[in-house]
């Protein structure tokens, strides 16, 4: 656990700042909960994501999946390495980090499997920053029964 961005490695700090910047692109007029994500790819590129809501609510999508799906299209076959996430009401950042929903964790798990190595997760709150080494730490007993 960390308490400020300055305690992070240079790479994690850059990714965290990209997630904070991505939050500004969030479109969340219904929940007013704005989430930003940034995904580091194996080729060094950072792909941003933010939650995008819709009046027909199931048609919206979380920030994490927006980033992962965009990255899968933009850089097919390139492994995902690290994901930073931040969020809060009305463009704020929650003191304690917002944590990814179950659906996003399942999607992360599948891309981690495709990556063949761990995807780390950085959850950025205003007062606390939590780092997880791999998706398994957020989602035990991952569903892989179609294998």
Q: How far is CA 46 from the centre of its chain?
A: 12
Q: Of the two residues 33 and 130, which places its CB atom closer to ligand THU in the complex?
A: 33
60 part of the interface to ligand THU, by CB under 6 A = yes
Alpha-carbon distance of 128 to 50, in angstroms, equals 21
The one catalytic residue among 53, 64, 96, 110: 64
Among 23, 51, 86, 120, binds ligand THU (CB under 6 A): 51
- Applying the rule CB under 6 A, the residues between 78 and 137 that interact with ligand THU are 100-101, 104
Alpha-carbon distance of 80 to 115, in angstroms, equals 6
The distance in angstroms from the start CA to the end CA of the chain is 35
For residue 85 the two structure tokens come to 């996430």
Are 34 and 51 in contact, with CB atoms under 8 Å apart?
Answer: yes
Q: Of the two residues 60 and 118, which places its CB atom closer to ligand THU in the complex?
A: 60
For residue 63 the two structure tokens come to 């920030």
72 part of the interface to ligand THU, by CB under 6 A = no
Among 53, 67, 80, 94, binds ligand THU (CB under 6 A): 53
Residues of this chain that bind ligand THU (CB under 6 A) = 28, 31, 33, 35, 51, 53, 60, 62-64, 100-101, 104
């Amino acid at each position: 656990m960390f308490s400020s961005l300055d305690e992070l490695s240079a790479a994690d700090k850059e990714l965290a700042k990209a997630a904070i910047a991505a939050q500004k692109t969030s479109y969340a007029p219904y929940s007013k909960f704005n989430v930003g994500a940034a995904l580091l790819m194996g080729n060094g590129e950072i792909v941003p994501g933010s939650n995008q809501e819709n009046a027909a609510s199931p048609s919206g999508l979380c920030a994490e999946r927006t980033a992962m799906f965009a990255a899968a299209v933009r850089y097919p076959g390139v492994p995902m390495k690290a994901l930073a996430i931040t969020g809060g009401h009305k463009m704020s950042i929650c003191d304690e980090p917002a944590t990814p929903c179950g659906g996003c964790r399942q999607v992360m798990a599948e891309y981690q499997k495709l990556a063949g190595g761990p995807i780390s997760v950085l959850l950025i709150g205003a007062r606390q920053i939590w780092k997880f080494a791999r998706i398994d730490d957020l989602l035990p007993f991952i569903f892989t029964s179609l294998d």
